[in-house]
Structure 1
Amino acid sequence: MIAQESGRGAQGLATDHDHGKCIATAMTRAESLCAQRGVRLTPVRRRVLELIWRSHEPVGAYAMLDVLRLEGFNAQPPTVYRALEFLTEQGLIHRLESRNAFIGCPSPDHPHQALYLICTQCGTVEEREETPALTAALADLAQQSGFRIIGRTLELTGLCQTCQTAQSAA
């Protein structure tokens, strides 16, 4: 299921978060970046990206497929997976390995190594850029073991500030 703009996905967000503006900004940025790069943001790709941005929770491919079909797109799983692959290649979304789901990237205009803070209670995900110190520490740890890093996904699970506050108040 895909959370609505005012639904569960907003629980872990700051109370002053304007989710409508968040979505509009993400879509405008995506259209601009695709135009600059000379690639097409087709109607299906655009709608998949909108569905991902409707929530700050990870969204699975089959949840998107269900919505696309309800909206009259003649979508099959390969259609959705091709759209997700394109959006990932363009840096507009990220795949959360532990959830086999996708989230929107808040800073797609520059390459970066991200880490994800995943709230186990409300499901929100916050993307943070890795610091140089963390990158160096991970490289050092791998080197100590004679390990060559070829890729990584750093996902941390816990409770967001909103859920911690709610737990304390209960």
Structure 2
Amino acid sequence: MKTGIIRYSAGNVYSVAMALERLGESYQVSDDPEVLQACDRIIFPGVGEAVTALKDLDMKGLTKFIKSYNRPFLGICLGMQILCRDTEENNARGLGIFNPKVRKFRGDLKIPHMGWNTLHNMDSLLFSGIPEGSSVYFVHSYYAELSEQSSSWCNYGKDFSASLEKGNYYGVQFHPEKSGETGSKILKNFLEKT
């Protein structure tokens, strides 16, 4: 069993790769759809700007690959936001796998939302064995609205989707690779239970 990590113009690939190494998981980092198609599951990390990332995905033929992949697929942070239908970040059109619109935090909040925060209503196999109210690490200025696809939520000025789920697609707004033992357990659940 091998996990593919999508390499594109958004960062964070190295942190995810190191987290998988700590779990003893074999992985392949690639931006080639044919190489990734041979993997048993995919992780789609991301730190960066949506429009640049979406253009890079299109140029590499990864948009079509992502939309047609039928095995377990996990989007992290920007990776999850790109899977949503659209984003206020430069009014970009997302891939439409998840329904929520991605909006920018507004008001008197310090942006980005950065640091540890609490998960609520954790309803996903990703959270198997993890206590309700566990904390994970966030770094983001945009958030996915709550929807029927929300599998957990968090509050920063308002409630937002901390994770999303639809079929074989999973998304987390937080960074499991930076979330200590809880994050490692979430990644392990993805690797073992999907």
User: Do the structures match in fold with TM over 0.5?
Assistant: no
Bigger radius of gyration, 1 or 2? 1
If the TM-score is normalised by the length of the shorter chain, which range does it land in?
0.3 to 0.5
Greater share of helix: 1
Task: Work out which structure has the larger RCO, using CA pairs closer than 8 Å and 6 or more positions apart in sequence.
Answer: 1
TM-score by length of 1: 0.32
Greater share of strand: 2
TM-score by length of 2: 0.29
